[in-house]
Amino acid sequence: MASAVARAGAMIGDWQSCIVTDRRATAPMIPIELLVKNTDSGRQQTFNLEIIENQALSPTFALLSVAQVVRSIATSTQDTMLAWDLKILIEDRDRSLVDTDYLANGGRTATGALQQLSAIFNTPFGYGAVKGIRGTITTRYGRDTAVIKGAYFDRAEARAGEAVTLSVVVEPFAAPEQVVKVPLTIPSAPGKMRELTVAVMAGAEAPIDGAMPDSLTTYLDAIEKQHRATDLVMVTRQPTEGMQIRGRLFKNLPPSARSVLESQQINNVTPIADLEHTVIPTRWVLSGRGAATITIQRE
């Protein structure tokens, strides 16, 4: 990173014969303000940067800026945990990027934060015109990761509407296995369901609790709804059904409402199974997945 001694104007023409600049002009810029700190050393520093606002160059410069400020604080090559809380000004509103990542080679890469930031700029619905980036990035040395080894219920059968306990076995790095207890409830109206299966997965691998985006706005909404890498996510299919309608998810719709929507042949309307997400925050960056099944007793 470097700072210019003085402003030299802006390029106003790029032609085959020459490049034209105007020393009185100012290129549109994106301000970046990042507070970066290391909790082990106590060192912290605020960086105020500007990158050019350009569809081709802004994504690359934004990613390089974040990577460089992280590397300036987390200088060691030992295991490093990195947490970020970023606000991205886009479409005249702030979008939040909050997560945690494990860096196996220290502060030399900040893969998780960079992937999320890249997704903001490079969207399936065109260039995301970011107007500002600010936030806090915190690093500390160590490795808080864990692998999901499996899951099981506290019994083989349960009645509809009954509370049960799901036990999830996780193995932290360099530590004994631990069991996370998750209270769940069997659907009160199971319909034709004879058993309930719960998928257990790491937050980084879990689907969002929302519809497939169909515009830039719903795409940015989906990014904010992403589960965190430290989330333990249980996904349960419910006996009811919902609909995806123009980038929005409507759950537990009565059969009459679904029939009307399907009969109207409205664009961007898709039937979808209802999925219930149960999220348990943990202190580990998780990986792996598992599943458990319980039989639903009939009355």
| pLDDT tens, position by position, 202-243 | 999 998 887 778 888 889 999 999 999 999 999 998 877 666
In the chain, which stretches have pLDDT less than 50?
none
Specify the DSSP element, H or E, that contains 166.
strand 163-172
Q: Angle at CA 55, nearest 5°, toward 52 and 60?
A: 65
How many other β-carbons are positioned within 10 Å of the β-carbon of residue 233? 23
Give me the helices (H) in the chain, please.
Answer: 58-73, 111-121, 216-225, 255-263
* pLDDT for position 41: 85
Q: 53: closest CA among 133, 135, 131, 125?
A: 131
Burial 117-136, CB ≥16 within 10 A → b, else e: bebbbebeeeebebeebbbb
* pLDDT for position 237: 85
- Contact (CB, 8 A) for 124 and 68: no
* pLDDT for position 152: 97
| pLDDT tens, position by position, 36-71 | 998 988 889 999 999 988 888 888 899 888 888 888
* pLDDT for position 34: 95
Can you tell me the distance from the alpha carbon of 285 to that of 147, in angstroms, rounded to the nearest whole number?
Answer: 9
